[in-house]
Amino acid sequence: MAGVAAQNSLLSEAADWLIRLRYETPTAKEQARFEQWRSQSPAHEAAWHKAEAMLGVFAQVPAEVCQQTLNAVQRPDRRKSLAWLGGLLVAAPAGWLAWRELS
């Protein structure tokens, strides 16, 4: 089960990077830190690819649904909304991994 926790941690980190790089303007220093994070191990690279793939899945959701979801968040603070969406990005693969480990 420790493997699942490690994978979940990497997926969470990948989701954080994805949000920062996609929805904020990263500095050169932040971009370099991301590249360093990504090149740490094959597991880091795999987590990054999973995060990108999940973003592709979310991109298929109609814009109206996304807007309604963002509006439903209690505080319309952009950073918190993005963090919430990042949590969704991690929850789906994490649930799948946990289910696979328990099966």
Mean of the per-residue pLDDT values for the chain? 77
Which pLDDT score is estimated for 63?
72
The pLDDT confidence band at residue 37, using thresholds 50, 70 and 90, is very high
> CB within 8 A of 12, min separation 6: which ones?
90
User: CB burial class (10 A; 0-12, 13-18, 19+) of residue 27?
Assistant: exposed
What does the domain layout of the chain look like in residue ranges? 2-102
